[in-house]
A = this chain, B = another copy of it.
Amino acid sequence: MKHKERIEQAIKALQERTFYAPYPENPKAYDAEADAQGKEAFQKAMSNPFVGLNEEGNTGFIGEEVSPYMMVGLGVQYPQFSIDTIMSRAKEAHAEWSKIDVEKRADLLIDMLDAVSKRFFELGYATMHTTGQSFVMSFQASGPHANDRAMESVALGYQELTRYSNEIDWVKPMGKFDLKIKKNFKSISKGVGLVIGCSTFPTWNTVPGVFANLISGNATVIKPHPKSIMPIAIVVAEMQKVLVENGLSPYTVQLAVDTVAKPITKDIAEHKDVKLIDYTGGTAFGDYIESIPGKTVFTEKAGVNSVILESVKDPKAVFGNLAFSFSLYSGQMCTAPQNIFVPADGIKTAEGHLSYDEVVEGLSKAVKGLAENPKMGAFVLGAIQNDNTKSRVNDTIQALNASNLEAEVAHPEFADARLLTPTVLGLDENDEHWKEECFGPIVFVVKSSDPLKHAAEMAEHKGAITCLCYSTDESYMQEVEHTMNAVFTPVSFNFVGAAFVNQHAAFSDFHVSGGNPSGNASFTDALYINRRFVWVGNRYA
């Protein structure tokens, strides 16, 4: 096995949950020419049919991506296929792929990741101009961080799929004689898996399911969001290249593109030959996906993440850390906090007591300061992926008769960029606005009679992917950990400096617990792999 050492290293990291990053996140760790080459490749790709995907048998070319920075269509066109074509190819590819042993599958999948890593910069620009993330975030999220998560799937898959003897002689002493039976144990893949991508993290949220499917022997169809195709198209092109180079069907992994006006997701999801579905996106559609009978489903839906502010050492450091977490990609991360629960009578700090109003003011100022800092502002905020996000946030702001900071920030490179700086709004606990997800750059500072109770209730009923708690009281911290963990929500305590609640590191942090309404699956626990195949044991007398 070619990549045995890398797989073993990854498995070890996964078990110990220590820092491990096979694909470095720092752009400077890569070839000096790579950035310029990647930018050029991206620019060349615009206004052209996408190059590198298998095109045979297509029914046409479509594409309607719009850069949130340039506010122009990218003009990239992707080959479109009928669902019948896609599914019959997937079934045939599954028959071939499922016969390959897990060692070989792991080697091929790692070859694919290595091939993708050669295009990290191009991936970065493609992600930037489809999602609105800043370039560095685009590079990291769609490049190394996504590859790391994919590698995590491969490593855990390899571990789970090799956990039993392949063949044994089973010998049972029967007194006068031994009963001998030869047995083999086979992991049987479920068939064809569909992975439904989202617009904001087109590779990071997609590749874990894709690589988990593939390591388990399943063929995979990827249905990207019609506004964020290019990043995953680059990944699929590299995967298909490795497949073909190895004499295998490129249809082991296929891209099924559609348009906003004519979506095909339901038709594929309900197709009788689709056995597995991975989904990232809104809760309503996720609930529908979970309800389709006879499918094995993995979802990451929406959550409403809380911050519990009980007491702090250094308010400035805390407000700065929170401002960054609110602002990073304009609150469009599934891990970003929405509700900041502050006791009605304020908080203790090392510098004295802060009233609730002073906390709201401190947070607002920190957010404003970050937004107006020319070295941070636009580069932290990125752009708004979807017009709807902008109008929904603005509607909420108007409904609450408040104002935002929008006018005060401009992007130094892209004059037309769709920007919206985060708004910090103080609300009473009796207000209803904080009790639903409000996706985008808006946070509610809730004057709360019981921050922990409110945070736990939101996690239990609306779901939560993260929870951030600031407290200097050991026993309160224990209570928060216990109470939030009981609703299957992880807690981060007293993050300041370079530790941000938004960040979930591959090989160490579980992403989504799978235990509350924010999703039914986790990157990457044993269920994420084991639900994709079935153990069968055969016996020979």
Contact = CB atoms under 8 A, between A and B. Distances in A.
Contact of A185 (B17, B492, B495, B497): B17
B536 A488 contact: yes
Nearest to A508: B170
Given A498-B179, A531-B527, A164 B15 contact: yes
A464 to B, nearest CB: 11
A298 B200 CA distance: 36
A510 B525 contact: no
Nearest to A515: B534
Contact of A170 (B26, B496, B505, B513): B505
B489 A536 contact: yes
Contact of A485 (B163, B188, B489): B188
A493 B497 CA distance: 64
Interface in A486-507: 486, 488-499, 505
A539 interface: yes
Counting every copy of the chain, the complex holds 2
12 contacts: A15-B165, A16-B168, A18-B171, A19-B171, A19-B173, A174-B498, A179-B498, A188-B485, A490-B539, A508-B537, A513-B535, A515-B536
Given A188-B488, A488-B188, A536-B488, A168 B541 contact: no
A185 B485 CA distance: 10
Contacts of A488: 188, 534, 536
Given A17-B183, A183-B508, 6 more contacts: A15-B163, A179-B498, A490-B538, A492-B540, A496-B541, A522-B534
Contacts of A489: 536
A194 B215 CA distance: 34
B541 A513 contact: no
Given A16-B165, A164-B15, A481 B526 contact: no
Interface string A8-19: 000000011111
A175 interface: yes
A438 to B, nearest CB: 25
Interface string A174-198: 1101010101011010100000000
A525 B514 contact: no
A437 interface: no
A492 B181 CA distance: 10
A96 interface: no
Contacts of A35: none
A344 B526 CA distance: 47
Interface string A354-384: 0000000000000000000000000000000
A404 interface: no
A172 interface: yes
A54 interface: no
Contact of A510 (B171, B537, B540): B537
A530 interface: yes
Contacts of A172: 19, 21, 505
A509 interface: yes
A457 interface: no
Contact of A530 (B17, B179, B186, B525): B525
Nearest to A24: B173
Contact of A493 (B160, B495, B530, B540): B540
Interface string A101-138: 00000000000000000000000000000000000000
A165 B12 CA distance: 11
Contact of A490 (B497, B522, B527, B536): B536
A448 B232 CA distance: 49
Contacts of A497: 179, 541
Contacts of A26: 175
- A-B residue pairs, 4 tightest by C-beta: A515-B534, A492-B539, A526-B530, A488-B534
A174 B500 CA distance: 14
Contacts of A510: 535-537
A311 B513 CA distance: 52
Contacts of A513: 188, 534-536
Contacts of A499: 179, 181, 539, 541
A170 B526 contact: no
A92 to B, nearest CB: 14
Contacts of A485: 186, 188, 536, 538
Nearest to A26: B175
A275 to B, nearest CB: 10
Contacts of A19: 170-173
A492 B495 CA distance: 57
Contacts of A515: 188, 190, 534, 536
Contact of A527 (B171, B175, B496, B530): B530
A493 to B, nearest CB: 5
A499 B181 CA distance: 8
A185 to B, nearest CB: 6
A513 B508 CA distance: 31
A171 to B, nearest CB: 6
A509 B21 CA distance: 38
A117 B49 CA distance: 71
